[in-house]
Amino acid sequence: MIRTHRRARAAPALVLIPALFAAACGSSDSSTTADGPETAESLTIAVAKDSGPGNIFAGQTDQMTELIYDKLLSPSPYVADPQPWLATDVRQVDATTWDVDLRDDVTWHDGEAFTADDVVFSFHFMHAAPTGRFTHHVNDTPSISTVEATSPTSVRFVCDYACPELGTVTLADLPVLPEHFWSAIDPAKAKEVTDYPIGTGPYKLVDYSPTTGYRFEANADYFAGAPTVDALVMPVISDSSAAFTALRSGQVDAVDRALTPELVDQFTASSDIGTLTVAPLQYPELKLNFTREPFAQADFRAALNLAVDRDQMLDIVGLGQGRPGTQGYVHPDAPFADPDASTPYEPGQATALLDSLGWKDTDGDGTRENPAGEDASFTLIVNGGDAPMVRAAELIAEDFAEVGIDVAVSPLDAGSLSDASANKNFDLYVTTNSPHAVADSTQFIMSHRSGNLWKHPDLAYPEFDALYEKWRATQTNESRIAAMQEMQELFNRQPTAIALYYPDETWAFRSDRFTGWVETPGYGIVHKWSFLPSDVVDAANAEAPQD
């Protein structure tokens, strides 16, 4: 049985759909305390975008998914000690085999009983579905060869190679689907499903419109306890300024986004607004297109990495709210992060590396020519509608100019940016990653194998290949994490994605309407754990420690 840790809490936990609610409760002494109701008949939460009718194969947010569905363990792969949830016990039998016992008191939203067959079906369906958010967890990292029911309430998982993290990562990440609904769907057409989802989770989606948004109603029969908020109403307000204006005026009770740094002081000073500061497992990053020269060269990428002034980036873009990105790509709060990771600001070393590569300023204009003596300029794309990211891009261009590399910032609209990213039609790209990318240990491996951080048929990476084989041969969590930390050290020396800063986030909410917000790592405060009884949240190890 996985051990449970309990913590004292100031208020019971209630969580709105993780990405669609935007209030705050977290682990920082800069958070304001708020006295107010810990239950509510209804909350209105502004959401940033229309995500469709709850189809997890069509780009649904993790937070909304978790309102509807449950996983075998909770709360996520982003904590070191996830707890049984739909499972009652999880046991590693040997290096490649895990046994899972299941609850026998769970029903789907339509009243059907949850059984081991649903678990078996879910993993097979994920295996057959097109590549997406969850499929690598069964097809590659890890590679699950067999999932079979050993009784109506138990399942055995067998992997193709050692999978010591199956219990703490995979089973804590994949939602379980109802076989009686999805078995009628061709996995190849999973993204086309528009029916309202059927889950076992604390909320049911009862109304959806691309124009008016979402309405969720509490699942009164939820096995873990009745939710503390009866209904969640989520209008789509994509413009952040408009969303926070609506929050200030009382038109909405929360927003599914953290405050921008310049708004923090205004909202924390308001007597009507409660705030919570959290340390999210995501951050702004600079992507380098390693499929193009000279970014395919490890030493050129290393030089650019040494040229980024992360302290300045935090001060100017993040207004000092967070930490500089000096530990590199893996978020320092991730369970597998190397605590000694370091990516220093050393423009002198960057200059020396560029000199050694033949990049010289031969005409004295302050800009280096390439080894062939030709003028060379690069384009850095960024979302033109995101002012902080545009400013980050401008600072990067200034940093690179200091070492003689010419970069032009190109703000794009969201659609053009998405196309350029998908087709790798860029030199440099400032964006924001996700907790799944930088705090999930198996995704760190998969990102090197999927084309995100590496993988190109014409570009060899023997150093990583050797470390991958070493990682694959490990059989315990401890040795596997040690192997990943070696990968992290290698990656941070010659990264294809450069961490800029690790922000703190401050979330705001109407404290007169609801104060049960809870921070869980990687999800902010808008998620199901904010809407479940406090003893349930404690037992699930779902609340981030309070400072």
- The residue among 466, 483, 502 that closes a domain is 502
If asked whether residues 482 and 532 sit together in one domain, one would say: no
For residue 193, give its domain range.
Answer: 70-197
**Mean pLDDT confidence for 124-135:** 84
Tell me whether residue 236 is in a domain: yes
Q: What is the pLDDT of residues 193-210, one digit of tens each?
A: 999 999 999 999 999 999
Instruction: Quote the Cα angle for 261-262-266, to 5°.
Output: 110
If asked whether residues 423 and 309 sit together in one domain, one would say: yes
If asked whether residues 410 and 539 sit together in one domain, one would say: no
If asked whether residues 213 and 318 sit together in one domain, one would say: no
Tell me whether residue 266 is in a domain: no
453 DSSP 8-state letter: S
Q: Give burial (CB, 10 Å; 0-12/13-18/19+) of 384.
A: middle
- The residue among 170, 197, 224 that closes a domain is 197
Tell me whether residue 1 is in a domain: no
Q: How many domains does the chain have?
A: 3
If asked whether residues 453 and 321 sit together in one domain, one would say: yes
Task: Please report where in the chains the tokens 């909202």 appear, as a residue.
Answer: 267
- Strand, coil or helix: 445: helix
- Strand, coil or helix: 272: coil
| Contact criterion met (CB below 8 Å) for 21 and 42 | no
Tell me whether residue 268 is in a domain: no
Task: Name the nearest CA neighbour of 318 among 522, 498, 501.
Answer: 501
Output the CA–CA distances (angstroms, integers) from residue 500 to 120, 153, 396, 488, in the order listed.
Answer: 41, 46, 9, 16
Give the pLDDT score at 229: 98
- Cα–Cα distance measured from residue 307 to residue 74, given in angstroms and rounded to the nearest whole number: 40
Rg, the chain, Cα only? 24
Confidence of residue 458 (pLDDT cuts 50, 70, 90): confident
CATH assignment of the domain containing 15: 3.40.190.10
CATH assignment of the domain containing 155: 3.90.76.10
257-261: Cβ within 8 A, 24+ apart? 257/22, 257/48, 258/22, 258/24, 258/505, 258/506, 258/507, 258/524, 259/505, 259/506, 259/507, 259/508, 260/388, 261/317, 261/318, 261/319, 261/321, 261/388, 261/503
- Within 8 A by CB and 6+ apart from 462, the residues are none
Confidence of residue 187 (pLDDT cuts 50, 70, 90): very high
If asked whether residues 326 and 469 sit together in one domain, one would say: yes
Tell me whether residue 264 is in a domain: no
Tell me which of 122-131, 313-322, 508-517, 521-530 is least confident: 122-131
- Cα–Cα distance measured from residue 113 to residue 134, given in angstroms and rounded to the nearest whole number: 24
If asked whether residues 185 and 40 sit together in one domain, one would say: no
If asked whether residues 236 and 343 sit together in one domain, one would say: no
363 CB-side CA count, 13 A: 9
Tell me whether residue 275 is in a domain: no
Tokens of residue 51, six digits: 């995500």
Tokens of residue 62, six digits: 């993790």
Beta strand 377-383 with 428-432: parallel, antiparallel or unpaired? parallel
- Percent of the chain with pLDDT strictly greater than 90: 84
Give 365-376 as a 3 state SS string: CCCCECCCCCEC
- Cα–Cα distance measured from residue 139 to residue 142, given in angstroms and rounded to the nearest whole number: 7
CATH assignment of the domain containing 425: 3.10.105.10
Q: What is the pLDDT of residues 265-275, one digit of tens each?
A: 999 998 889 99
Tell me whether residue 64 is in a domain: no
Q: What is the pLDDT of residues 208-247, one digit of tens each?
A: 999 889 999 999 999 999 999 999 999 999 888 999 999 9
If asked whether residues 376 and 482 sit together in one domain, one would say: yes
Give the pLDDT score at 21: 27
Instruction: Enter the pTM of the model.
Output: 0.90
**Mean pLDDT confidence for 12-27:** 29
Tell me whether residue 62 is in a domain: no
If asked whether residues 324 and 453 sit together in one domain, one would say: yes
If asked whether residues 453 and 334 sit together in one domain, one would say: yes
Give the pLDDT score at 133: 80
If asked whether residues 205 and 190 sit together in one domain, one would say: no
For the CA atoms of 261, 262, 266, 267, the dihedral, rounded to the nearest 10 degrees, stands at: -30
Res. 293: pLDDT tops 80:
yes
- Cα–Cα distance measured from residue 187 to residue 291, given in angstroms and rounded to the nearest whole number: 32
